[in-house]
Chain A
Amino acid sequence: MPAVRSARVPLDTARVILPRGQVHVIPHRCKECRFCVDFCPKDVLALSTETNAKGYRYPVVAPGKDEACVHCEFCTLVCPEYAIFTVEVPRVEVMA
């Protein structure tokens, strides 16, 4: 009997090019709620070691995750402080 192929892997996986995002943060607006860090589907973010002037740690790209953001923009949507957003990296740059 042939191995069962998982129905959850889309048939065109090999051809699809995932978008890539560049994370931008406005540290002085952050209040360390952690929504962006905990809800990022790719675990791109971690809290900074330094704090902002109000004593809050803000999100930074976690070690080794420089290329991991897929620009889903959920962090942008969920941040209560409008303190984080991503910019799509043009595909040529991604492939280079």
Chain B
Amino acid sequence: MTMSTLIAERHPSDPLFRADRLPHIWCPGCGIGPAMHAYAQAMVESGIPLARHVCVSGIGCTGRVPGYLNMDSYHTTHGRAIPFAMAIALVKPELEVTVYSGDGDLFAIGGNHFIHAARRNVDINVICINNFNYGMTGGQVGPTTPMGARATTAPFGNYEQPFNLPHLAAATGAVFVARWTSLHLRQLKQAMLRAMKKRGFTFIEVLAPCPVGFGRPNDIGDAMEEMTLYREGCVVDPAAPLDSLDIDLRVKDRPIVLGNFVDVERPVFDPLAMMRPTSEAENNTAVAGKTQEGQ
């Protein structure tokens, strides 16, 4: 027989978190929490032992994710998560390295690192929490703030064209590109699993509510309202042309397109290949699926 509510002290996912640090600092309804849970579950389901997963972030609210995960995790400087992760991935290719950071960290101050790591097809996963603003520093305009959206640095509305992140990632060379939201959690977890399985540079954009930095100045009452917007305003279309994936929240009834848009193979960046005997080098640059090496 089921009873009404049972009060618990611990959560079944607590071993994946530094549970002594919970509740975390994120605001009520912040979309980072569900997306971090999806990542933690994906790591467990990946079949890659947790000891071989590494999480790297830059600075920002999203940048705090590594501090809450019970694993080898690094909170680096603003914009520099990708070069830090790249070094780990090159020196220890047996590790599954994931960068988990914000839209500002990855695409403003860190934008150059992103495009060159994608161009080289470095074997890392990049997960970007896109909350359309610099959440941590008080809601400034960033490179993904939609046209017309208000922010502390754009009180009359943003007049800059934002990045279309999946298009950018695909154009610069990512071998897997997806966009989901912090409501589409089963699909998000599946995309993360696919990214972990693939060799090369993978990119997942997660649209997430930031009720404080983005919601409040844009008349989105609370996080529930932004999540409802995702429920009602999203369509899943993996075949959508990449240049049609712009987000413009001003245009009523314009859907936000979600999906796994790109899944291709390209030679993986391996600058040390030249230093190895030929046969081994060939094995390492092979574009075949993830090697079983060390599993």
Is B6 a contact partner of A66 (Cβ separation < 8 A)?
Answer: no
User: Which residues 51-92 of A have a CB within 8 angstroms of B?
Assistant: 56, 59-61, 66-67, 69, 74, 76-83, 85, 89
Closest-by-CB residue of A relative to B6 is: A24
Q: Chain A residues near B228 (CB, 8 Å)?
A: 38
Instruction: State whether B1 touches A96 (Cβ < 8 A).
Output: yes
Q: Which chain B residues in 14-35 approach chain A with CB under 8 Å?
A: 14, 17, 22-24, 26-34
Cβ-based interface call for B106 (8 A): no
The interface bits of chain A over 2-28 (1 if a CB of B lies within 8 angstroms of the residue's CB, else 0) are 000000000000000000111111111
Bound-complex Cα distance A27 to B13 (A): 16
Closest to A60 in B: B5
Closest Cβ–Cβ distance, residue B79 to chain A (whole Å): 26
Chain A binding surface, main DSSP class? mixed
Known: A35-B227, A77-B38, A80-B33. A85 touches B5 (CB 8 A): no
A-contact 0/1 string along B64-90, CB 8 Å cutoff: 000000000000000000000000000
Q: Which residues of B contact A38 (CB under 8 A)?
A: 224, 228
| Docked complex Cα distance between A35 and B27 (Å) | 14
> Are B28 and A31 interface neighbours, CB within 8 A?
yes
By a CB distance below 8 angstroms, the chain A residues around B11 are: 26, 82-83, 85
The answer to whether A66 touches B3, judged by C-beta atoms less than 8 angstroms apart, is: yes
Taking a contact as CB atoms closer than 8 A, the residue among B7, B26, B185 that contacts A27 in the complex is: B7
* Cβ-Cβ contact count across A and B, 8 Å cutoff: 101
A34 to B225 Cα, complex, angstroms: 10
In contact, A78 and B183 (Cβ under 8 angstroms)? yes
Interfacial chain A residues near B9, Cβ < 8 Å? 26
Query: Which residues of B lie under 8 Å from residue A24 when comparing CB positions?
Result: 5-8
Which chain B residues border A23 with CB–CB below 8 Å? 4-6
Q: How close is A88's CB to chain B, nearest CB, in angstroms?
A: 10
Are B38 and A33 in contact, with the CB atoms below 8 A?
A: no
Contact A80 B34 (CB under 8 A): yes
Which B residues are CB-close (under 8 A) to A39? 183, 227, 231
Q: Is the CB of B13 within 8 A of A82?
A: yes
Residues of A at the B interface (CB closer than 8 Å) are 20-29, 31-35, 38-39, 56, 59-61, 66-67, 69, 74, 76-83, 85, 89, 93, 96
B interface residue numbers (CB < 8 A to A) = 1-14, 17, 22-24, 26-34, 37-38, 182-183, 185-186, 222-224, 227-228, 231
In the complex, the 4 A-B pairs of residues with the closest C-beta atoms, listed nearest first: A80-B33, A31-B28, A33-B29, A24-B8
Q: List 17 A-B contacts (CB under 8 A).
A: A22-B2, A23-B5, A25-B5, A26-B8, A35-B29, A35-B227, A38-B228, A66-B2, A69-B2, A77-B38, A78-B182, A79-B37, A80-B29, A80-B33, A82-B33, A83-B11, A96-B1
| Additional A-B contacts beyond A34-B224, A79-B37 (15; CB < 8 A) | A22-B6, A23-B5, A26-B7, A27-B7, A29-B23, A59-B5, A60-B4, A60-B5, A77-B34, A77-B37, A77-B185, A80-B31, A81-B22, A81-B23, A83-B23
